[in-house]
Structures are given as structure tokens and as C-alpha cells.
A and B are shown apart, each in its own frame.
Chain A
Amino acid sequence: MNLYLSKNSNGGSKNSNGGSKNFNGSGKNNKGRLGKIFINRLKRMIIKNWSFAKMAIITNMEYRFNFFIDIFIQPIVGSLVELTLWLAVFSSISSKTIGGFTIQHYLSYVIWAAFISRITTNWMYEFKMVEDIEKGTLNTLLLRPISFFETYLSQFLGYKFMTTAFSLFVPILVVSIFQWPMLWERIPVAFILIFYYLIFAHLISFIVATISFHYTKVISFSVAKNILLWTLSGEFIPMDLFPKAYIYPILIHLPFANGVYIPVGFLTGRFSWDVLWLGFISTTLGILAVSPLAYWCWKQGLKVYTGTGA
């Protein structure tokens, strides 16, 4: 992520020079001064990013009906379709469980998956990034004291934070009313993982957006990426239903599983804390693997960018 903070680093270098005057002092003082510089830079970065996050919240709240459809109606209708599927599946079998879980486990999974996948999917800001590159409006963003990556990451996180705050009560309410399996104490940790995964999701979107430096139409890349993410994240069906011998062990170790399956499975009690830690590890590895690629794509893109729009 720091790879995209070049502009902040430049801004910060002034402070570093200022700080160099005091290097004659004791090591303890230097450490204190460096610590202050670091805190100041961090503060500035948070303030800048927060202003973009706030902007995303305000902009999306402007069209309230769109917002209402996006965070409530879409996941409710989507989960209704999936709920009927699972009711039909259980009415077709003689056993009371599938893969060791009851119908209540599946219904709880479906309702949570519908809402959490709304949080982890990134369409809007990916399209905006593509549009900026295609139309040449990226020029204005390059002049800002915040990187292109950060501009959209903070907006993306701000918007998703708002989505979470408003829509979370729906699955909680449904699960409580019907008394479906749910481990309440796990909610905070599960959402930390979800928001951590959002950084990875944004990196993927960023890479897709950089393709528009080279190709005029990238919508098919976006659609392909999102369909793949939905499938690999376990939005459609819990991953443990896939063949356990070869497909499941691969899918569970991929960072994409943190988009739906791991947080939802963890919340609904499909597995223990071990899998959650695995989720944090795979997301970290995913971010570490994808960041250099994103940086390289960005640099390659800037080399061919003419700033005139495609």
C-alpha cells in the first residue's frame, strides 16, 4: 500500500529535512522527534483520507432512494431467491443435514452472504477509476496531494462503512427472529476481516482499472473479475459443499474466500477461530502478492498515458 503514497512521502520529506537539524542531539531526542514526525504524517494522512471517505458518504446519501435499493432491497430480494433454493434442496432430501449442517445453518448463511457480498463487491469505484483513465480526468487527480490509489480506497472504505452501518441490522434482525445459528460475540472480529479484505478487493479493482491505460473497453474484465470473485468467495453456495478432496482445500486457502465464506461461516458457526486466522493470513499474503503487481501496472500505465482521454 505504501507504494502508492509517493506524494505523501514527498510532502513528508520537508519534515525530515527539518528534523535533520536536530541530529546532533542525543539519540533519545532523535527518536522522540522521529516519532513525532511519524505521528504528524500519519495524522495528516488520516485527515486527508477521512475527507475523501466523508465525501463518498455524503455523495451516496444524496440519492437516498438509490442508496435504499442498494443496501436493503437488492440483498433482500437476492437472499429470498437463495432461501427458496435451500428450502427446496432440504425438501428434496431425506436427511436433515447436508455436509453436517442443518437447514437453519444454510438459511443463516444465505441471509448473511447476501448482505456481506454487497459490502465486499466493488463495482462503483472500479468504474470511476476506469472512467478517470479513459476520459483523461485522471490529470486533475494526479495534481492532488493524495495518490490516485488512496483517493479511491478512502472513498471505497467510507462508502462500505456506511453500507455496513445501515444494512447490518437486517440480517441480525432476521437471524434473531427465526433463531438461526449465529455467534454474536464473533461479529466485531468478522467485520475486521471484512474491512481488511476490502483493501485486497480494492487492489484487484485497481489492477483492472489500470488495464484501461492500454485498452479502451475494460468493462468485460470488470464483469469477469466480479463473477469470479462471487464464485470463489462462496456467495452462491458455501464452499464446504464443493468436493472436499481437491476443490475445497484450494478455495479455502485463497484470499477470495474472505469476501464471504470465511466471515459468514465464522459468524454462523460453521468453523472455529483457526479458519478465521487463516483468513487474516491469506488476506495479508494476497495484499503482499498483489501490491507490487498493482504498482507495476500503474507505472506501466502512466508510461503510455497521454492525459488526453482515450
Chain B
Amino acid sequence: MKKYLLYILRLLRIFTAIFRISLVADLEFRTHFFFKIIVDIIWYGSQLAIFEALFCYTSTLGSWTIDQTRVFLGVLFISDALYMIFFSLNVENFTDIIQKGDLDMILTKPVSSQLMISCRKMSIANVGSLLISIIWTIWAISNLPQSSINDHNIFLRTLWLIILIPSGLMIHYSIRFMLLSLNLIFIRADYLQFLWFQFYRFSFRSDSLFPPNIRIILLTILPLGFIASVPSRIVIDPPSFELYAMCIGGGIGLSVFFIFLSSLTWNWALKFYSSASS
């Protein structure tokens, strides 16, 4: 037990150091820092505009109303902001790290190489986007019809998001990381990253919008539905056994499984790595 506590404390120290270094680095380019927040606001605005325009013509979309869809979008924005903070900068430089031989240095450090390569830089500017997303989500939840707020203890159930959003984030990260690991084998696997962005678009929509066959894929093999769609359900949909089973068993269980799978993939792919500029 003490061993695990020490390990967690060590991780916290590492993350604090990474946060400090990243903050200093980010503030060096102040225009870029503020523009990053603006980029996110533009992206949020474009996603909101699509649904606001669509709901001018229909009252429900895949069983959700405009108020419920706003909650879903809020959860999606939070998950995206967290991904941007912790992983975006690192995954963008992944190919370069391998090609320039910087991975050699990372492999020699006394910390998990997967952790180091995935989290060695943070995008602090996106903390601003995260705050905006959280405020939007709280506003969207408080705007849900009064009946669903009173009937289903919605604010208590909102607390589930503290677990479910990070679970979805881990699934998102694991899939991306597994694809990136293939760079060790194929050297230039940029095309897989481009392809990933297209598949990632499935998470921008509620899983209930998709036909049953695609929906099954999005909740099992390629569980993009757990990034925002399933976590939103815990707040939006009436509580039921199936819902909790899907959130806890599916969301949390799959995130643990995918993290494990990403670690296996990384260790396997490392066997193909033949040092600098390979």
C-alpha cells in the first residue's frame, strides 16, 4: 500500500513539474497562448451552430431535445479540452521524436516511457477552454426541463461525470496512442493519424443517431461513444440498471482495458525500434 502511495506521490510531483515547465513555455508565446483559446471557442461555436440550426427544423434528434444536446456538447467540449491539455502537444510531436532519435533519451529515463512520451508537455492555454466548457455544461444542465432535474436527482448524477469523462478520455488517448505506436514499425504512419481524425468525428454525435450496426461498433471495438455520448446519458437519460451497467461496466471497464492494451501495443512496438533516425 505504501509503495503505491509513494508511486502516486511521485507521479504528482512529475505532473507538477511538467505543469510548471509547460506554463513557462506557453507564456513565452503569449499571442499563441490566447489564440489557442480563441480557436477552441470558434470550434465550440461551429458545433453549437450546427445543432442550433438543425433544431430549428426538428424538436428531437436521436431521442434528444436541444437542451439535452447542449449538455452532450458540453461534455464533448470538456473531454476535448482535457485531451488538448494533457496529450495534444505530445501526440503531435510523436513522429518527430522517433525520427530525430529523441526517443532514445526518453527510454533511458527512470519513468514509464509511455507516460513520459504521452505527457511530457501540457497545453496550459487549453485550461481556459476547459473552464469555458465547464461553465457551458453547468449552464446546459441547469437549463434542462425542471421535471427531469427534480425527478432524477440530476445534480447528484452529474458527479458521475467526474469519473466518466476521464474514462472516456483514457479510451480516446489509448486508441490514439496505439495508432501512434505503429510509427515505430512503419516509420511514417502519418496517414493513420489523418484517418483517425475522421473516425474521431463519430464522437461528435450522439451514439443514438447511428444505425444499430455502427452503434455496436462505437460501443465495443471502437468505443468512441464513451468519449461524450455515454457520459452525457448519465445526466440526460432517466436512471436505469442498463444505463449504469453501460456507464460503469462499459465506460470504466473499457478504459482500463484500453489503457492495458495500449501499454501492450507500446511494448510490442518498441521491439521494432532501432534507435535514432530509424
Chain A contact residues, CB within 8 Å of chain B: 63, 65-66, 68-70, 73-74, 77-78, 81, 84-85, 87-89, 92-93, 98-99, 215-221, 223-224, 227-228, 230-231, 236-237, 241-243
Q: Kindly count the residue-residue contacts between A and B in the assembled complex, taking CB atoms under 8 Å apart.
A: 101
Residues of B within 8 A of A65 (CB): 191
CB <8 Å contact, B42 and A224: yes
Residues of A within 8 A of B201 (CB): 77-78, 81
CB <8 Å contact, B32 and A243: no
A14 to chain B, nearest CB (A): 44
- Nearest-neighbor residue (CB-CB) of B53 within chain A: A241
A49 to chain B, nearest CB (A): 28
- Across the interface, A221 reaches (CB within 8 A) one of B35, B188, B208, namely B35
Known: A73-B195, A85-B209. A93 touches B43 (CB 8 A): no
CB <8 Å contact, A93 and B57: yes
B17 to chain A, nearest CB (A): 23
Known: A88-B61, A99-B57, A231-B49. A77 touches B35 (CB 8 A): no
CB <8 Å contact, B58 and A84: no
B205, CB-defined interface residue at 8 Å: yes
Residues of B within 8 A of A228 (CB): 42
Q: Nearest 9 pairs between A and B by C-beta?
A: A77-B198, A220-B35, A217-B32, A88-B209, A69-B191, A231-B46, A66-B191, A224-B39, A93-B58
How many residues belonging to B are interface residues under a CB distance threshold of 8 Å?
40
Known: A92-B58, A215-B29, A221-B35. A77 touches B195 (CB 8 A): yes
- Across the interface, A89 reaches (CB within 8 A) one of B46, B54, B194, B197, namely B54
Known: A74-B198, A84-B209, A92-B62. A241 touches B54 (CB 8 A): yes
B19, CB-defined interface residue at 8 Å: no
A168 to chain B, nearest CB (A): 19
CB <8 Å contact, A69 and B61: no
Residues of A within 8 A of B58 (CB): 89, 92-93, 98
- Across the interface, A88 reaches (CB within 8 A) one of B32, B49, B62, B191, namely B62
CA A81 – CA B192 in complex, angstroms?
18
- Across the interface, A70 reaches (CB within 8 A) one of B60, B194, B209, B211, namely B194
CA A63 – CA B205 in complex, angstroms?
32
Cross-chain pairs A/B with CB under 8 angstroms, 16 sampled? A63-B191, A65-B191, A77-B195, A77-B199, A84-B205, A88-B61, A89-B54, A89-B58, A92-B59, A92-B62, A99-B57, A219-B32, A220-B36, A223-B39, A230-B46, A242-B53
CA A89 – CA B205 in complex, angstroms?
12
CB <8 Å contact, A66 and B190: yes
CB <8 Å contact, A216 and B194: no
A236 to chain B, nearest CB (A): 5
CB <8 Å contact, A236 and B36: no
CB <8 Å contact, A215 and B32: yes
CB <8 Å contact, A224 and B35: yes
CB <8 Å contact, A217 and B29: yes
- Among B29, B57, B60, B194, max chain A CB count under 10 A is at B57
- Nearest-neighbor residue (CB-CB) of A228 within chain B: B42
CA A69 – CA B42 in complex, angstroms?
27
B83, CB-defined interface residue at 8 Å: no
B182 to chain A, nearest CB (A): 13
Known: A65-B191, A89-B58. A236 touches B211 (CB 8 A): no
CB <8 Å contact, B32 and A220: yes
- Nearest-neighbor residue (CB-CB) of A81 within chain B: B201
Residues of B45-67 at the interface with A, using a CB-CB cut-off of 8 Å, are 45-46, 49-50, 53-54, 56-62
Residues of B1-39 at the interface with A, using a CB-CB cut-off of 8 Å, are 29, 31-32, 35-36, 38-39
B202, CB-defined interface residue at 8 Å: yes
- Across the interface, B195 reaches (CB within 8 A) one of A69, A89, A98, A241, namely A69
Residues of A within 8 A of B31 (CB): 215
Residues of B within 8 A of A74 (CB): 194-195, 197-198
- Nearest-neighbor residue (CB-CB) of A222 within chain B: B39
B210, CB-defined interface residue at 8 Å: yes
Known: A65-B191, A84-B211. A227 touches B43 (CB 8 A): yes
Residues of B within 8 A of A241 (CB): 53-54, 56-57
CB <8 Å contact, B205 and A85: yes
Residues of B238-258 at the interface with A, using a CB-CB cut-off of 8 Å, are none
Residues of B146-202 at the interface with A, using a CB-CB cut-off of 8 Å, are 188, 190-192, 194-195, 197-199, 201-202
CB <8 Å contact, B50 and A227: no
CA A81 – CA B202 in complex, angstroms?
6
Residues of B213-265 at the interface with A, using a CB-CB cut-off of 8 Å, are 214
CB <8 Å contact, B50 and A237: yes
- Across the interface, B57 reaches (CB within 8 A) one of A98, A216, A231, namely A98
A175 to chain B, nearest CB (A): 21
Residues of B within 8 A of A68 (CB): 191
Residues of A within 8 A of B190 (CB): 66
CA A87 – CA B205 in complex, angstroms?
13
- Nearest-neighbor residue (CB-CB) of A216 within chain B: B29
CA A243 – CA B57 in complex, angstroms?
11
CB <8 Å contact, A70 and B191: yes
- Nearest-neighbor residue (CB-CB) of A87 within chain B: B211
- Nearest-neighbor residue (CB-CB) of B209 within chain A: A88
- Nearest-neighbor residue (CB-CB) of A241 within chain B: B53
- Among B42, B192, B211, max chain A CB count under 10 A is at B42
Residues of A within 8 A of B209 (CB): 84-85, 88
